Chains A and B, each alone.
Chain A
């Protein structure tokens, strides 16, 4: 279980508090207006933003002071998830061996992950030689290899078209099922939330609200969500 215990995040003129818990293995959408702090919340869990107060706990252990790379977390950023000058194989291998080793055993596991994400034969390409969808797949293949208990998605597929995005979310579901990961996904799109995430965290008015049932939330949206979604929804 992921717990945000009286967490308080602040940056110039911006404040966000969160006091909630997410059950292990859950798939959760994070939705809310731009600038409300969705990405900041994710970056705090990943270890890139230091909280003003409060704790972040995973299975009862305190993560708050842990380095990003030592946390039980894989994060996919909005962009720059792959090193552009390294081959796809190298990029994936870094998920298994942070010291840059490239042994036959590692190469075999990378090849297997590429195979399962539909990237056969692209191991020696550089990211620029891949389409946007393939780059997303490569980042997910590395998440599959790292198999961390928490997977954070900071809108990595925002630039993809609707069909491709649906395909990516299906792949995320596969990866999460296989690794048993708890997934938190930032999104702007209620469609994504309904399709992918049984639970939703609403971030608005300086608060990250505890996760609630996605279908119920959109059926009877609170005022802050209603304002964000606009009338006619």
Chain B
């Protein structure tokens, strides 16, 4: 009804945020591209590219394939602890990768539980390193994500279809072919592509479980080129390859990936038929195996780490303080930037399409590509070790921003539609409007987004590896160095600290948001 909008207030905050994101994403790629010309990719680089594609492809296929029976069992069975298990499936997104890997090592490692059992049975030992180690970790981290996405697919089949199927007395096989297979055909590519894209940028997993000529990802190769070979030009070439990879994957799955991750409606009443007989046993097995696979590593980590908590190594306190400071600073930065962008986009401020794009760019960025770009651009001005903390804050804020922004954008839009005219007609001052209208309305998504940002930043082991010296390691990097010197009990204890702090930060911010949201 309303015709042309009134002259709009400028969006200085959003413009500043967009400029920051542009510099962090396109700016760093430009810095990388300037240096990349002088080094052509060598055989080792091509092999890193091949390994990256191979492990990402296998991780995606295995995770989604294993998720199908688990999701179906969760969709059609009701049992005590089901809700908890579904919630738990959301947790690996926030779980620091280094913690997951220490958990997996506690079960599958050389001195882990499984090898202990195998040794007792006089069976050959297994090794968690190399391609299958990387795959193990990626499936551990992504099976829950795939399960949630496919579970959503199952729950989106309208109840009427199943009633019709039952009234026609379709056999389970016919029902699968006519109802569930079409759903899977629509859901699986998105789930697989999401996981493929996430695994393309795998760094911490490859750093700890991969390595060597046979198991190096492009991200890991960038790190090695910069830190060990002192070959910035080669790192730049690799960073350009990595950027092309993630951008291509992102463009391929644009529509599918944009809303992946945070689904609603996981607790709706069951409408799926729950067949008895052997199918019941199959579902119980799928759920038990999945729960054991996800919980055993964490239980083993707790068992291994608890005794060490009384004797924490020197240096842990400093690393913890640095990580907390980085997490809080990047949370403040990402949340403020996401809010400015979401509000400006909601009121269709001038250049709002650019703002929306700026909030999406970081999905195509990766920690090590940004890091390489900043390393090359800032090297003439400062010592890398001196820049470690600010660079990590800026990078973590950039990488978490798309999640915070996508959580804020829809409620910011409806806030604008419903109350912009009332606010304008009362001539609310900008401060009063922010304090009394905007913040209370957006408290929940703001708190949830800040919680995600804080937890991701706390657990991040990425760009810091390029910059940190001996004295300014973060907690994940400190744990990595403990692992490197084979102090596995201390590493396990420190990762319990990291695990607790990551989830405590998430709970803290999410709780603040819930408390301040209108009832």
Contact = CB atoms under 8 A, between A and B. Distances in A.
A11 B425 contact: no
A86 interface: yes
A225 B428 CA distance: 40
Contacts of A98: 426-429, 432
A83 B423 CA distance: 9
B249 to A, nearest CB: 39
Given A80-B422, A81-B422, A94-B432, A68 B427 contact: yes
Contacts of B419: 80, 83
Contacts of A48: 2, 6, 421, 424
B428 A77 contact: no
Contacts of A81: 422
B123 interface: no
B422 A69 contact: no
Given A77-B421, A83-B436, A99 B429 contact: yes
Contact of B3 (A11, A69, A70, A83): A11
A43 B7 CA distance: 15
Nearest to A40: B1
A46 B426 CA distance: 11
Contacts of A100: 428-429, 431-432, 435-436
A11 B427 contact: no
Nearest to B516: A85
Contacts of B421: 48, 68, 77, 80
Q: How large is the interface on B (under 10, 10 to 19, 20 to 34, 35 or more residues)?
A: 20 to 34
Contacts of A85: 440-441, 518
A136 interface: no
A149 interface: no
Question: Looking at A9, A75, A95, A100, which has the most chain B CB atoms within 10 Å of its CB?
Answer: A100
B268 interface: no
A90 interface: yes
B348 to A, nearest CB: 14
B311 interface: no
A110 B6 CA distance: 31
B308 to A, nearest CB: 47
Contacts of A80: 418-419, 421-422
A178 interface: no
B437 interface: yes
A39 interface: yes
Interface string B246-275: 000000000000000000000000000000
A66 to B, nearest CB: 10
Residue among A47, A90, A98, A126 having the largest count of chain B Cβ atoms under 10 Å: A98
B320 to A, nearest CB: 37
Contact of B427 (A52, A69, A84, A126): A69
Interface string A55-77: 00000000000011110011101
A10 interface: yes
A49 interface: yes
A179 interface: no
Given A10-B3, A68-B421, A83-B419, A94 B435 contact: no
Interface string B408-427: 00000000001101101111
A18 to B, nearest CB: 14
B185 interface: no
Contacts of A94: 426, 428, 432, 436
A50 interface: yes
Nearest to B430: A99
Contacts of B418: 80
Contacts of B3: 9-11, 14, 40, 49-50, 52
Contacts of A67: 6, 424, 427
A39, A40, A84 interface centre (most CB from chain B within 10 Å): A84
Nearest to B5: A50
9 contacts: A11-B1, A39-B1, A48-B421, A49-B4, A68-B6, A68-B425, A80-B418, A86-B440, A100-B432
Interface of A: 9-11, 14, 39-40, 43, 46-50, 52, 67-70, 73-75, 77, 80-81, 83-86, 90, 94-95, 98-100, 126
The 4 tightest CB contacts between A and B, nearest first, are: A69-B427, A85-B518, A100-B432, A11-B3
